[in-house]
Chains A and B, each alone.
Chain A
């Protein structure tokens, strides 16, 4: 028996995944438990769930795989500051404390967390590279024996884009493009410029793109980057601030695109829609060129994709539509959360050398890898809340929900195991009928509380997919956008522009048809999502429509619900009509007024742990303050003044120390006061100390680096060069245990 646990943490969207003899037993993001969107903290709840799902104690875990190489990342950080000095002081002071306290001591930190989990035997640690984890998450669970693999994201250690070739259990690194020349960061720069947040607003920008025209496409290609035929590129860093500063874009960028960044929540102008359309077009162009290069160089007929950019389902759909590869498989948790799974897989096949047998449809079991709750737990939650509910058989539930959907009701659908990754696939979903014209704006504004322009995805019965959509291949994870068939589309009025286009239905299923006639399809098959398939079949039998609106069970800014209590909380605070919680059905109109759902457990630390006045800490405080005070006031200052030691002061300090040692509880208040003072003082001393290091060491070293002609950021473009790619490090597979 071999147990490998993969972990991603400390940046954004932390997660854990567990392999038992190579089988993916469980995978889940920490945010679902802590209710903090994109929670970056060590995934202690997620790890506990993975162990529980496998029925294992922490001491039974053989390998713990972290999803990147911390020392390589630290190297990138230092070299970036050297290259930017003296302009990056502010970013240096902001970034360094967390590195000095935690990230640099990752092994120590991981072992510490492991002990908190109750583990006495520390598993063997491994550190696959960030893109190696992404590539492993894309290739190993895919149905292909051989495939080319393309990873695209913001940045890992150095790589921002990487290509791999997978065959059996081997995953060979081919080439990469390095920071700061990043497609993910380029897209994020436009996301922020258009008033959305990095790491969560990219979907919004993609959804906004069809409202605009790609008027700025050529300007982006001419001014912002030098794009080669093979898809590699260099950014013109004069337009960006993310490498050296704390913003994404520079004043020059704002000038180029006609004004300052849009303020969040302010009105969307045509310019923002055009920018969204333009950066989407450029992204598609780059991905297409990279994929073509990979196809020509490897000769592989299959492609696997991972990395945050692989969640750009519009680009994925176009890549599939041109038929460059026979089949494309995208890891459903393509972002950093999926890195936890990839890290575990890289160790299982790479470090342990275990064989791999690909299977269809894939090894992800529909991405349903999170916690499930039994009927008793759900019933307890319902009774504790005082909700009115009824218990139904599967058939009764399907028919009642299908009937409600057909009547225009919106239903919360909570069944089975939670999904791994950013998409709800029919286990933690909000469902609606796609046919009524007002359904999209109703769900957006009264249930999800989000922007009205954002489209919804159709979950369609697989056997009817071809009747409605151009794409006929499977899309079980909602990762490909396709167009509705021409005979299903209604013409778009030419005179209508911008968000006004929302008012003109493009098909008979307007809630899932975007203004450009496209849809982000989820195909639902009985072998992958059986429970959801039954419901869709019931809806189809009743209405003749083989699809429903499927959106994630959450409101804007919150993670997807995980527990029955989360689902109840979301149900009662929104305009949702029904909730199907396992076999239980709740109707909003039947609910009493005094329903009360307990608040989610507070998973945040109330204060810095050192502020807790334990007897040991107070004793340390008493002794150390006594020693320091005695040295300064009894000996040093008198010596400076040319006097002898002040023994009475020394005796007072000794008395203070002794008192603290014997009666620590009496000094709790002074301890807390000192620590609170220290916390405030730290805000001043930290920048001063790091500022000193920056000007005394980083800046001179940076200048010397520049004089020697080296530029770690490779800012210079070369119009005559054929490519900006470089060969990947072929030792990655033999250095999995190393943090560099």
Chain B
């Protein structure tokens, strides 16, 4: 997951898209919840969200 965050930071720096960061972060947080969720104890609740 840290690798994705590092890639996203490099991406915003390289592409100079800092203004997109708020939206990207919200989407990534939702995504992290979905990717980590199924392998964790909260899986039954995450699964009902998406």
In whole angstroms, how far apart are the Cα atoms of A613 and B15 in the complex? 44
> What is the CB-to-nearest-CB distance from A115 to chain B, in angstroms, rounded to a whole number?
14
Contact of A674 with B by CB under 8 A: yes
Query: Cβ of B43 and Cβ of A621 under 8 Å apart?
Result: yes
Contact A701 B23 (CB under 8 A): yes
Residues in B10-50 with C-beta less than 8 Å from chain A: 10-11, 14-15, 17, 19-20, 22-24, 26-28, 30-31, 34-35, 38, 40-45, 47-50
List chain B residues, Cβ under 8 A from A674: 44
A48 touches B (CB below 8 Å): no
Contact with B along A87-125 (1 / 0, CB 8 A): 000000000110111001101100000000000000000
> Which residue from A78, A101, A627 sits with its C-beta under 8 Å from B24?
A78
Residues from chain B with Cβ under 8 Å of A100 in the complex: 27, 30-31, 34, 50
Q: Verify if A693 is at the interface (C-beta below 8 Å from B).
A: yes
Q: Nearest Cβ distance between residue A80 and chain B, in whole angstroms?
A: 12
Q: Which residues of A have CB within 8 Å of B20?
A: 75, 78-79
The 8 Å CB contact of A740, one of B10, B42, B44, is B10
- Interface on chain B toward A: helix, strand, loop, or mixed SS? helix
Flag if A99 contacts B43 (CB, 8 Å). Answer: no
A104–B24 CA distance with the chains assembled, in angstroms: 10
> CA–CA, A504 to B19, complex, Å?
63
A697 touches B22 (CB 8 A): yes
Q: Is A698 interfacial (CB 8 A cutoff)?
A: yes
Q: Are B50 and A685 in contact (CB under 8 A)?
A: yes
Contacts of A617 in B (CB 8 A): 43
Q: Is A491 an interface residue (CB 8 A)?
A: no
In the bound complex, CA of A518 to CA of B30 (Å): 54
Nearest-CB residue, chain B, relative to A79: B20
Known contacts: A697-B22, A698-B23. The answer to whether A108 contacts B35 by CB under 8 A is yes
A620-B44 contact in complex given A100-B50, A686-B50, A740-B10, C-beta closer than 8 Å: yes
Q: Are B45 and A624 in contact (CB under 8 A)?
A: yes
* Contacting residues, chain A, for B8 (C-beta < 8 A): 71
Q: Would you give the shortest CB distance from A618 to chain B, in whole angstroms? A: 10
Within 8 A of B (CB), among A674-698: 674-675, 677-679, 681-682, 685-686, 689, 693, 697-698
User: Cβ of B34 and Cβ of A681 under 8 Å apart?
Assistant: no
Interface members, chain A 35-63 (any B CB < 8 Å): none
Flag whether A201 is at the interface (Cβ < 8 A): no
CB distance A620 to B45 under 8 Å?
no
In contact, A105 and B10 (Cβ under 8 angstroms): no
State whether B11 touches A620 (Cβ < 8 A).
Answer: no
Known pairs A75-B20, A678-B44; A685 contacts B49 (CB<8 A) = yes
Q: Is the CB of A101 within 8 A of B34?
A: yes
Q: Which residues of A contact B47 (CB under 8 A)?
A: 610, 675, 678-679, 682
Residues in A neighbouring B26, C-beta threshold 8 A: 693, 697
* A738 at the B interface (CB under 8 A): yes
In the assembled complex, the CB of A734 is this many whole angstroms from the nearest CB of chain B, namely: 11
Q: Nearest Cβ distance between residue A494 and chain B, in whole angstroms? A: 58
* Residues of B with C-beta under 8 A to A108: 1, 4, 35
Query: A199 interface residue, CB < 8 Å from B?
Result: no
**Is the Cβ of B10 less than 8 Å from the Cβ of A75?**
no
Contact A104 B28 (CB under 8 A): yes
Chain A: minimal CB distance from B29 (Å): 10
Known A-B contacts A624-B44, A686-B50; the reply to A71 vs B31 at CB < 8 A is no
Chain B residues with Cβ below 8 Å from A195 are none
Decide yes or no whether A445 CB sits under 8 A from chain B.
Answer: no
Taking the closest CB of chain B, its distance from the CB of A633, in whole angstroms, is 15
Residues of chain A lying within 8 A (CB to CB) of residue B23: 78, 82, 697-698, 701
Chain A residues whose C-beta falls within 8 Å of the C-beta of B38 in the assembled complex:
610
Residues of B within 8 A of A739 (CB): 7, 11
In the complex, what residues of B have CB within 8 A of residue A671's CB?
44
Contact present for A99 and B48 (CB under 8 Å): no
Is A651 interfacial (CB 8 A cutoff)?
no
Task: Give the distance in Å from the alpha carbon of A99 to the alpha carbon of B32 in the complex.
Answer: 11
Measured CA separation A675–B44 after assembly (Å): 7
Q: How far is the CA of A550 from the CA of B30 in the complex (A)?
A: 51
A105-B35, A610-B43, A620-B41 known; A686-B49 Cβ under 8 A: yes
A101-B35, A682-B48 known, 9 other contacts, Cβ within 8 Å = A72-B11, A75-B17, A97-B50, A108-B1, A627-B41, A671-B44, A677-B48, A689-B50, A735-B14
Chain A positions within 8 Å of B, measured between CB atoms, are: 71-72, 74-75, 78-79, 82, 96-97, 99-101, 104-105, 107-108, 610, 617, 620-621, 623-625, 627-628, 671, 674-675, 677-679, 681-682, 685-686, 689, 693, 697-698, 701, 735, 738-740
- Would you mind naming 10 contact pairs between A and B with Cβ atoms under 8 Å apart? A78-B20, A78-B24, A78-B27, A82-B23, A100-B31, A101-B34, A105-B35, A689-B30, A738-B10, A738-B14
Measuring CB to CB, which residues of chain B are less than 8 angstroms from any residue of chain A?
A: 1, 3-4, 7-8, 10-11, 14-15, 17, 19-20, 22-24, 26-28, 30-31, 34-35, 38, 40-45, 47-50
The 8 closest A-B pairs by CB, nearest first: A678-B48, A740-B11, A100-B31, A624-B41, A681-B48, A678-B47, A71-B11, A621-B44
